[in-house]
Amino acid sequence: MRVPIIAGNWKMNTTVSEAVELVNEMRQGLDEIDNVDKVICPPFISLAAVRELIKGSSVKLGAQNIYFEEKGAYTGEIAPLMLAELCEYVIIGHSERRQYFNETGEIINRKVQAALKAGLKPILCIGERLEENEAGRTEEVISQQLKASTTRKYYQSGLIIAYEPVWAIGTGMAATGKQVNKTIGFIRQIIYQKCCTRVAQETRILYGGSVTADNIAEFISQPEIDGALVGGASLKADQFLSIVKQTSEIGGLKEGASSS
């Protein structure tokens, strides 16, 4: 069965001391919640400190980005094996990386490949802009992004997808549960066409975009949605705990894969 995932993307927020304080506020509560994979993704500078705090718990650690080269003269970048010693998951292809750092489908593809090679679990972000959505091009854009960023082997290796419509990220304009369920169903159909029924059913696909404790139930109750990539609400211990708890209570196990 597909086990839901709630991943908190802290983005460029929290100092090391603030990260430690936030983790201490919610570590025990998160550890007490079953039937959902819990992942927190702080900035690079806090990975080591957070890793020590969650050691021995059911909470998992993720990074927000990765570089595709193993090592070398790439000042400021973080190599896959550097991350593999600290965490299990890594977010790749977030719309902010695409928009502000000009990451192309080719670059994202190489990052996913590098992450898998290093034994990391990539969370690949895809999603359309507002003008593309209003023009009825959502499925076209998503198809193009998946084609550029993935191969059949990636899905077979446990790739996780996060559907994040750009117009909903940090805007308070969350999509409706039915809208997201339809789009994620389309993504699953693409995976089926590229791989097979089993892999399509096993692949966990999350929603991201203004997810809060007030609206998570609407998303997690949908049959195709396997969790959420949470932004701002993951920086508030009570909000994030509520999101994870509701997911555990409502989401249940969905037909497909086993837990990570």
Known active-site residue 202: no
d(Cα 180, Cα 217) in Å, to the nearest integer?
13
- Which is the catalytic residue, given 96, 164, 202, 218? 164
- Burial (CB < 10 A; 0-12, 13-18, 19+), residue 24, is exposed
d(Cα 97, Cα 145) in Å, to the nearest integer?
14
DSSP assignment letter at 27: H
Q: 90-128 burial, b if ≥16 CB within 10 A, otherwise e? A: bbbbbbbbbeeeebebebbbbbbbbbbebebbbbbbbbb
Secondary structure (DSSP) of 225-247:
--EEEESGGGGSHHHHHHHHHHI
Cα maximum dimension of the chain? 48
Query: What are φ and ψ of residue 152, in 5° steps?
Result: -60, -40
Known active-site residue 128: no
Q: 185-222 burial, b if ≥16 CB within 10 A, otherwise e? A: eebbebbbebbeeebbbbbbbbbbbbbbbebbebbbeb
Give the residue numbers marked as catalytic.
Answer: 94, 164
